[in-house]
Each structure stands twice: as C-alpha cells, then as structure tokens.
Amino acid sequence: MITRLPPLVARLVVLFLVATPLLTLASPLPDAAAAAAPLAARAPQATRRMGQRKAKKAEVPTQKKDYSSFLCPALSVACPVSAVPLEEITLDSAAALEASLNSLADWFKAGFECVELATELNQCGGCLSLAQGQDCAVIANARATGCENGSCTVYSCFEGYTVSPDRKTCVKRGAPSSTSAATPVTPLTPGAQAVLNTVPS
C-alpha cells in the first residue's frame, strides 16, 4: 500500500524536479579567457633552510618523575620506607634508596607513607629516609615541640632549660646564650602537631 503525499508536498517535489535542470542551464559558464590565463614566471628564491645547518638539540638530562601526585592526596608527599633504621641512615644509603625509585612499581615494592612535610612532627620539612628534614620529637631537653611550615619549633623545655631565641632548641638556664631567651608559647598554627615529652633526654 502506497501512501499519498499531501498536495502541498507533492507540488514542491514537482517544482524542485522541474527547476533543477533550468537552474543549471541558467548559470553562467566560466570565461574561457580567464581560465587559460598564463602563469607568470617567477625568479628562483632560496628557501630559509638553504645553507643553514641543522642545530643540534642540547641533551637535557631527564629529571626523575615525582610520583607523589599519583600516590598521595594533595599537600602530601610520598616518603619511601627505608630498610635501614632511621638512626643509621647516611647520605649514601639515602642516595641509593632514591636511585632505586624509578617507577610506581619501585615505590610499591619499597613501601611509602604520605606525609605533610609542613606539619608532620616526625618528618618535618623532608623525608628522613632520604636524609632530609628533621624529627622534632627528639630535640634535646624539649618538653613540647611542633612542626610549623616545615621547620621544628620548640614550645617549652624541661626544668633547668629555656627555649632558645630562635625557638629551635632548648638551652641551659644561666648559659650566656640564654640571656634573651624567648617565652614558651603554645602552638597556634592550625594543623600543626606538637609532642609533649614526659621525661628529660
């Protein structure tokens, strides 16, 4: 069963079929003189590269890829776990550990922990396994310490000691360098960690 087109559509189809050949006949033909215009001869020109030597690319040593963004959330850094105890880490053992970390697989093989170096008390300012940073919890004679902006800060010291002017160490009371000792303070930095020692070192 064939359906009939509405009369308006049928008229438009017929008009299109009749008008198409007429439009092609009415279109102007290209000018034969313009089509056969002679090409102008041009003088030979040297290209830019002619006579130039190709400059050698300077070999840039490839930098080791930082996998922290793949391994840890934002603001954290991946610190590898060393097989050497932290007390025995040397520059050589740290360099060997760092040299062994060339791929994500190497990081998973060695093990890692995500650390916020700006506030982490035990790895303040850098990864201890890579011989960087400082453990703020082991500052001699310090009662309370913290890590602020990647640097250890002493808040208070044990009896007989006072906080140094730079707040980095505890100095013996009465020592010549403690004449301008700072007053112990409490940590105010949001997110900073502090440790309170209970026995003197």
Q: Where are the domains of the chain?
A: 65-118, 134-201
CB-CB contact of 146 with 153 (8 Å): yes
pLDDT in tens, the chain (201 residues): 677 888 888 888 888 888 887 777 766 666 655 556 667 777 777 666 655 666 667 766 667 777 777 899 988 999 999 888 888 888 998 899 988 888 889 999 999 999 999 999 999 999 999 999 999 999 999 999 999 999 999 999 999 999 999 999 999 987 665 444 444 444 444 454 544 454 544
Q: Is 172 helix (H, G, I), strand (E, B) or coil?
A: strand
Q: What is the pLDDT of residue 19?
A: 80
Q: What is the pLDDT of residue 164?
A: 93
CB-CB contact of 124 with 150 (8 Å): yes
**How do the residues of the chain divide into helix, strand and coil, expressed in percent and rounded to 5?**
30, 15, 55
Q: What is the pLDDT of residue 21?
A: 77
Tokens encoding 85: 């105890």
Amino acid type, 162: T
Q: What is the pLDDT of residue 183?
A: 44
Answer whether 0.75 is exceeded by the pTM.
Answer: no
How far is Cα 99 from Cα 87, in angstroms, rounded to an integer? Answer: 20
